Amino acid sequence: MAQSYVQTAAAPALETLSRHRCFGGWQGYYRHQSREIGLPMRFGVYLPPQAETERVPVLTYLAGLTCNEETFAIKAGAQRLASELGIALVTPDTSPRGTDFPGQADNWDFGIGAGFYVDATEQPWAKHWRMYSYINHELPEVIANGFSVDPERQSIFGHSMGGHGALVSALRNPKRYRSVSAFAPICAPTQCPWGNKAFSGYLGSDKASWRAYDATELVQNQPFHSEILIDQGLDDEFLTEQLHPNLFEKAAVKVGQPVELRLHPGYSHNYYFIQTFMADHLKRHAAALHR
């Protein structure tokens, strides 16, 4: 398996945008035609050196508002340890691109770069904004068919909007993911301005439908099978109004869901914070993936 990249006859065509040697492995960026989105979608994959000789487990990272498939790979500093631990890192984009919907780029917290990992039901978004199904159903198939990875060993984590997406994905698909964690996630989107704006736009006015994408609501009825790690900076400018990790912790404790909420004085909402605690998350996921 010369480059630990495999294109099978059954796999949809993947276009390689770029590949870079990185800590003995490869950081690559790819594009494919998505059946769920109905448009080309981009994603990144870091393959550790172990993928040259065996199928490695997969850890998917969901990025936050305004980010794309390159943000984590460039800023998080995760490849060095992923190389040592023998895990692949998958980084999807945060929304469809290439549409011309009115207002799609008017606000940084809605539209382009702000898919919120939901399947939209409102027009015009319903046609392409299907990030939940893309992340949890289509993309794992694309990765399993196209790369030297083990689809039976998957975990997920994310930051901010991506932390929300990771928690929701794991709570709704506990058999797919062996572990889940988050950095400063939007824990109760039905109770914060970001979530209200996005959900009303993508999902409409029926707030009952919003609960399917709210981790604080989900955990009360669909607990995860193992402990959930959340890191939160106490100097995060969005903590009080947007993130509400205390609400998630309270709901989790109520139903006996193990959760470790770590609060860190002095840290804000940026990738300096993420870099600082990245090793803890990678090691925890690696333990579950290699178990």
Q: Report the candidate in 239, 221, 282, 230 with the shortest Cα–Cα distance to residue 79.
A: 282
DSSP labels for 87-126?
Answer: -EEEEE-SS--S---TTTTSBTTBBTTB-TT-B--STTGG
By residue count, the chain amounts to 291
Of 83, 148, 236, 281, the catalytic one is 236
Residues β-bridged to residue 45? 28, 90
CB distance 169 to 140 below 8 Å:
no
Alpha carbons 5 and 73: distance in angstroms, whole number: 18
Please indicate whether residue 160 is annotated as part of the active site: yes
Please indicate whether residue 244 is annotated as part of the active site: no
Please indicate whether residue 236 is annotated as part of the active site: yes
Of 34, 95, 160, 181, the catalytic one is 160
Q: Report the candidate in 162, 186, 172, 195 with the shortest Cα–Cα distance to residue 281.
A: 162
- Residue 234 CA, distance from chain mean position: 22
Of 32, 128, 164, 269, the catalytic one is 269
Q: Report the candidate in 137, 108, 133 with the shortest Cα–Cα distance to residue 120.
A: 133
Site of tokens 């590949």: 19
Which residues belong to the active site? 160, 236, 269
